[in-house]
C-alpha cells in the first residue's frame, strides 16, 4: 500500500513536469513561427485609433534572436527616419529631427511605443516569453473555429519583465497565437491582443492582423497589419548598432 501511494505520487509529479514542458514547447514553437528561428525582416502598418482621431505609422523591423532588434519608421514624414534599437539589454532611440541618440531606461519599457497601445517592450522584444516565464496549460478553448491551448505565463523571480501574468491562446494544429491577455502585478487585466487574417507569408501560415485593446480605455485600440515578412535571413550582429540606426533604410 505504501509502495503504491509512492508510485502514484511520483507518477503525478512526473505528469506535472511533462505537462509544464509541453506548455513551454508550445509557446516556443508559436514564438519561433512569428519571430523566425534565427532572424526576421518585416514591413508593417500600425493604425492608432482614438475616440476623436486616428493616425497610421509605417515601419520596418529586423530581429535576430531575442537579443537584437531594430525598428525604422518610414511614414508619416514627421516621424520618418526615427529608429529604435535593442542590443542585448540596452535600448536606444535615434531621432534625426533633433539629431539625438537617446538611451531608453527600463522605466520606459511599459510606455506606449509611438503613442500606441503597444509598449516599447512589446515592439522591441525586450523580454522573452519562452525564457522569462514559467508556463502552464490551463485548458482548451475554441477561437474562430480553431481549437487552442490556453497557456498561463507567470514571470520568473529574477526576470526583468513588464507583466505580472500573461494568458495565451495558441492553436493546437499550427501553433498560431490567436489571443493574448496581459495582466499587471496586481492581476488586473491591462489589455487584450487578438490575431486574425491568417495568410501564407513566406511559406508560413500566420496571423497578419493584430488588434490590441486596452481594458480601461473606451474606444481605444491599435491595429498592426503585417504587409511583408521574411524569415531566417542572413543578418550580422553588427547590423544592430547605433551607427546603423542613423543610416538604415
The mean pLDDT value for 31-39 works out to 91
On whether residue 16 sits in a domain, the answer given is yes
End-to-end Cα separation, the chain, in angstroms? 71
Helices (H), the chain: 2-35, 120-124, 242-245
- The mean predicted confidence, pLDDT, of the chain is 88
SS3 content of the chain, % helix, strand, coil (to 5): 20, 45, 30
Q: Is pLDDT at 134 greater than 50 in this prediction?
A: yes
Q: Is residue 23 part of a domain?
A: yes
pLDDT at 16 over 70: no
- Percent of the chain at pLDDT above 90? 73
Distance of CA 9 to the CA centre of its chain: 37
Residue 122, domain member (yes or no): yes
DSSP letter string over 89-118?
Answer: TEEEEEETTTTEEEEPPGGGTTSBGGGSSS
Higher pLDDT, 128 or 224: 224
In a domain, 202, yes or no: yes
> Percent of the chain beyond pLDDT 70?
90
Residue 97: name the closest of 82, 112, 109 by CA.
82
Q: What is the pLDDT of residues 158-173, one digit of tens each?
A: 877 888 999 999 999 9
Q: Quick check: 65 and 39 in contact, CB under 8 A?
A: yes
Residue 1 lies in a domain: no
What CATH number does residue 157 fall under? 2.50.20.10
Domain that holds residue 27: 6-245
DSSP structural state of residue 136: E
Rounded average pLDDT over 75-89? 92
Q: Which three cell numbers stand for residue 115?
A: 503613442
What's the pLDDT score for residue 127?
60
Domain count, the chain: 1
Torsion 63-34-208-189 (CA) sign: negative
Residue 92 within any structural domain of the chain: yes
Give pLDDT, residue 162: 81
pLDDT grade for 18, boundaries at 50, 70 and 90: very low
Give backbone dihedrals phi and psi of 227, rounded to 5 degrees, phi first.
Answer: -90, -35
Amino acid at each position: 500500500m505504501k509502495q503504491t501511494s509512492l508510485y502514484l505520487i511520483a507518477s503525478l509529479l512526473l505528469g506535472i513536469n511533462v505537462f509544464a514542458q509541453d506548455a513551454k514547447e508550445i509557446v516556443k514553437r508559436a514564438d519561433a513561427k512569428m519571430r523566425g528561428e534565427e532572424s526576421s525582416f518585416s514591413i508593417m502598418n500600425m493604425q492608432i485609433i482614438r475616440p476623436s482621431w486616428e493616425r497610421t505609422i509605417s515601419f520596418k523591423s529586423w530581429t535576430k534572436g531575442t537579443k537584437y532588434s531594430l525598428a525604422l519608421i518610414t511614414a508619416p514624414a514627421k516621424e520618418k527616419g526615427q529608429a529604435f534599437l535593442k542590443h542585448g539589454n540596452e535600448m536606444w532611440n535615434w531621432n534625426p529631427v533633433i539629431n539625438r541618440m537617446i538611451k531608453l531606461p527600463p522605466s520606459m519599457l511599459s510606455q506606449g511605443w509611438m503613442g500606441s497601445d503597444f509598449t516599447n517592450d512589446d515592439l522591441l522584444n525586450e523580454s522573452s516569453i519562452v525564457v522569462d516565464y514559467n508556463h502552464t496549460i490551463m485548458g482548451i478553448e475554441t477561437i474562430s473555429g480553431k481549437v487552442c491551448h490556453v497557456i498561463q505565463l507567470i514571470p520568473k523571480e529574477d526576470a526583468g519583465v513588464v507583466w505580472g501574468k500573461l494568458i495565451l491562446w495558441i492553436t493546437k494544429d499550427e501553433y498560431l497565437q490567436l489571443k493574448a491577455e496581459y495582466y499587471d502585478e496586481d492581476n488586473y487585466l491591462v489589455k487584450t491582443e487578438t490575431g486574425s487574417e491568417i495568410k501564407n507569408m513566406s511559406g508560413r501560415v500566420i496571423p497578419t492582423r493584430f488588434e490590441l485593446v486596452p481594458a480601461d480605455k473606451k474606444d481605444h485600440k491599435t491595429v498592426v497589419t503585417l504587409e511583408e515578412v521574411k524569415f531566417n535571413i542572413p543578418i550580422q550582429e553588427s547590423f544592430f548598432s547605433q551607427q546603423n540606426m542613423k543610416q538604415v533604410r
